[in-house]
Structure 1
């Protein structure tokens, strides 16, 4: 490795203006957590639909319609997080996913895991958001890490 000479104009930053720093406000942790859970849950519901179709637990049209509607609902709902009523509707959908365990038994366990993750996301995300707000109030004009 060679070092460039000290008088190299590329290394001279004395007269160069620093780039403008743009501060981007962090998104709410609750929104990020719940969106992630709903998108992952949509994939699981899609795979559960394939399982139900393979097991022939109901007519194919019923399986695909129900699974498709629930999958699309979860994906659309992930975009509604942070808006009024979004968390309530998300909680209702958790019950629907749990109820799908009546058709595909494994969904009782999987739905239970996602319901538990949903509760944790709401509680932990809320706590993180409160702590960020407290920090921002105590340190005006500074960017939180």
Structure 2
């Protein structure tokens, strides 16, 4: 049987579920999308310039970049994980020196990354306010109703 996680060991009945960060979720989606972009870029460079750079080098670097993009999803919740995400955006743009169309694709993916981080952070802030207001309402209304719902006329 698998060992319970820290969250499972600390859980108690009636505990509210901790809300996951939308910023982290959005960042992970963009990084996974970029892994597919790296796959298609690898195939394009392999087909167009594989003989110049060597097929082993092209496939090795391409698949390595895909692995790093996928693995970055695991650390994106840490502050330095976001820095790695930004660094990977620069790597995708820099691929334009190998395949010029990647300048365009890399910039578009960097814009998607920026938008995901910005929007996710805003939604996380809104959720903090919403959770605080919900906790206050529940504190003021312990029976779960405002007193009017249970009355009949």
TM range (shorter): 0.7 to 0.9
Q: State the distance in 2 between where 1:49 and 1:128 align.
A: 34
Whether 2:119 is the aligned partner of 1:124: answer yes
Q: Can you give the 5+ residue segments of structure 2 that lack an aligned partner in the other structure?
A: 1-12, 139-153
Cα-Cα RMSD: 2.0
1:107 to 83, 96, 102: 102
Deviation at 1:22, TM superposition (A): 8.7
Distance (Å, rounded) in 2 between the aligned partners of 1:137 and 1:46:
43
For residues 17-71 of structure 1, the C-alpha deviation after alignment (integer angstroms, 9 at most, x for no partner) is: xxx9995433111011000000010011011101000002521122111111111
Residue equivalent to 2:25:
32
| 1:47-86 to 2 correspondences below 5 Å | 47-56=40-49, 57-86=52-81
- Structure 1, unpaired ranges of 5+: 1-19
Equivalent residue for 1:46, pick from 39, 46, 50:
39
Task: Note if 1:93 corresponds to 2:98.
Answer: no
- TM-score, length basis structure 1: 0.78
Partner of residue 7, structure 2: none
Q: Tell me how many residue pairs correspond in the alignment.
A: 124
Moved over 3 A (4+): 20-26
Determine if contact 1:136/1:142 at 8 Å carries over to the other structure: no
**Rounded Cα–Cα distance in structure 2 between residues aligned with 1:126 and 1:39:** 19
Q: Deviations over 1:89-120 (max 9, x none)?
A: 10001000100011111111111111001111
Structure 2 CA distance for aligned equivalents of residues 60 and 134 of structure 1: 53
